[in-house]
Amino acid sequence: MSLRLTRFYRLQLRSWRAMSASPSTGSISSSSSSFFSVKRTFEATENANNPMETKVRRHQSHLPDDHALSMDSGSANNTKDDERGGPKTLEQLQLRILSKDEHFVVLNKGPDERMDGAFDVTLEKALARDFPQVEKFRWIHQLDFATSGVLVVGANKEATATGCRLFREKQVQKEYLAVVQGHLPFNPADSVDTAGVPAKACTFSKLGLLIQDMEEMERLRNQQRGSRAHQKMPGYPRGARHGPNLFTMEQARLLRESQGDSRGEVRGTSNGAGTRELTPAELAFTKMTWHDLTKEEKDAYTEKAKADKQRFLKELSEFLSQEKVRLARKRKYESLDREDSEEPVAYIFDAPIIEPHRSTGVFRMLVGTEADAAAKQSTTICFVLGHAMYEGEPVTKVLLRPLNGRRHQLRLHMAHHGFPIAGDVTYGSQEDEAPRMMLHAWRIWLRGRPADQKKYGDLYFESPDPFELMVPSERRVCTITYRKHKEAEAIKAAEANEKS
């Protein structure tokens, strides 16, 4: 370190000597630019030797300047996250095993524990320490640094591929527990969101219909097309055209004009054009193929196709939004079968989420509108479990069921509704002094195919409730259909035995 500093200051001294010796302005600017280039080179070398500083600065991009973390050049553990309660050394990081076999290791991750990365204390290193016989552990899903709870880790490539496939096929059900600031009413009818609009709701008995409809809407958005029934509806947008399609459509338009056919591009419309004789250039154009066009002409049609694709996606998003509203009116998610029924009613948070590009260095996710092209549809189901007072402030324990896997989805939805998660300084208050972020991954079920169940067993895992002493649960709610699925299998097996 001292040798590098000595070289740096020598180069700096030489630069300033050259500046003072040169009488011309041009030489001064040249010398000063060389000085700053040397300085940037030195800083880049320092960052390369100390990658922790770069990582910490990146994770601080959401904080104000006065909350930025100070970090010495030689210290890799002097971070605010570590001061919050996470283990300081690898020996202090003790794994809490919920289940383990030759295929999976299921951990009960603690708060403020890093999964991997260029850090001295990570779960990856702790797994390698406690299971040296396993060649390599692979992550199937991830939890935020401050989030605790169930974490499923693959012990071999085949098991990891199966777990990732189930996540990709939306065959995973997860539930989270959280303690939020304020008293969120048990009944959504007694609550309004930050815009003063009554909260959306769904009764427990109709939760299956809601999940089915939301998953169908997301599937259609991802496929960028509606179902066959949607395509027959009057308001369904006209499909997007590619470059070759636009080229052949223009040829067809010219031929129709020459033959006296006044039909427009869309059936049933008229452009009022009569019969006319094509010019030699137009006649030659009608006999061309796509491969006869020059690169510039193809690029022009490609740009038109891109604009048409954006038009279609915008109209499709508006159509699906209207379809979601129509389904809500038809299903009547919030209505009870009987007025005297005491079944729990869930909050429905469906604010779209915008994830800034990594190049911007922004850490916080944003709430957008359904009209935003960059916004991704996100839905969270929320049940209130109990109320309490924590350090003189009202808090509420809630059960959260995300229907999508957006980054920071639960944290952003609760903060957007006006009830941020306790201890969440990113989306809540910077002055929150809670000992941890009170978000816990409670249950998870990887619903595999029959072949997967035969090989890996029932991939259902549950961890203890860390907030039970703080906020006792006043009612029990479970949205995961694992037990119902097992009961149905038991009934089916009993019927098969009776027949045999």
- Give the confidence band of 355 by pLDDT, cuts at 50, 70, 90: confident
Domain boundaries, the chain: 85-171+447-469, 173-203+344-440+471-499, 204-223+278-342
Distances in Å between the alpha carbon of 110 and those of 163, 231, 349, 464?
A: 22, 48, 27, 12
User: What pLDDT score was predicted for residue 423?
Assistant: 93
Please tell me the distance from the alpha carbon of residue 247 to that of residue 294, in angstroms, as a whole number: 13
Please tell me the distance from the alpha carbon of residue 442 to that of residue 435, in angstroms, as a whole number: 19
- Other CB atoms within 10 Å distance of the CB of residue 271: 12
CATH for 173-203+344-440+471-499?
3.30.2350
Q: Is there a shared CATH topology between the 85-171+447-469 domain and the 173-203+344-440+471-499 domain?
A: yes
Give me 30's structure tokens: 């040249």
User: What pLDDT score was predicted for residue 467?
Assistant: 96
**Whether the predicted pLDDT of 366 surpasses 70:** yes
User: What pLDDT score was predicted for residue 373?
Assistant: 72
**Whether the predicted pLDDT of 267 surpasses 80:** no
Q: Can you tell me whether residue 443 is helix, strand or coil?
A: strand
User: What pLDDT score was predicted for residue 60?
Assistant: 34
CA neighbor of 243 nearest in space, from 299, 294, 192:
299
CA neighbor of 460 nearest in space, from 204, 177, 152:
152
Please tell me the distance from the alpha carbon of residue 232 to that of residue 346, in angstroms, as a whole number: 33
- The kind and range of the H/E element at 472 are none
Asked if residue 441 lies in contact with residue 144, where contact means CB atoms within 8 angstroms, the answer is no
What percent of the chain has a predicted confidence (pLDDT) above 90?
43
Residue with tokens 């978000």: 439
pLDDT in tens, 387-396: 999 989 999 9
Mean pLDDT of the chain: 79
pLDDT in tens, 163-215: 999 999 889 999 999 999 999 999 888 876 656 667 888 999 888 888 888 88
Please tell me the distance from the alpha carbon of residue 301 to that of residue 225, in angstroms, as a whole number: 22
Give the DSSP letter string of 475-496. Answer: S------HHHHHHHHHHHHHHH
Which string of b and e fits 38-53 if b means at least 16 CB within 10 Å? beeebeeeeeeebebb
Say if residue 179 is exposed, middle or buried (CB neighbours under 10 Å; 0-12, 13-18, 19+). Answer: buried
Name the CATH topology of 85-171+447-469.
Pseudouridine synthase (3.30.2350)
Separate counts of helices (H) and strands (E) for the chain: 14, 13
pLDDT in tens, 399-415: 999 998 899 999 999 99
pLDDT in tens, 21-42: 444 333 323 333 333 333 333 3
Q: Can you tell me whether residue 263 is helix, strand or coil?
A: strand
pTM: 0.72
- The kind and range of the H/E element at 480 are none
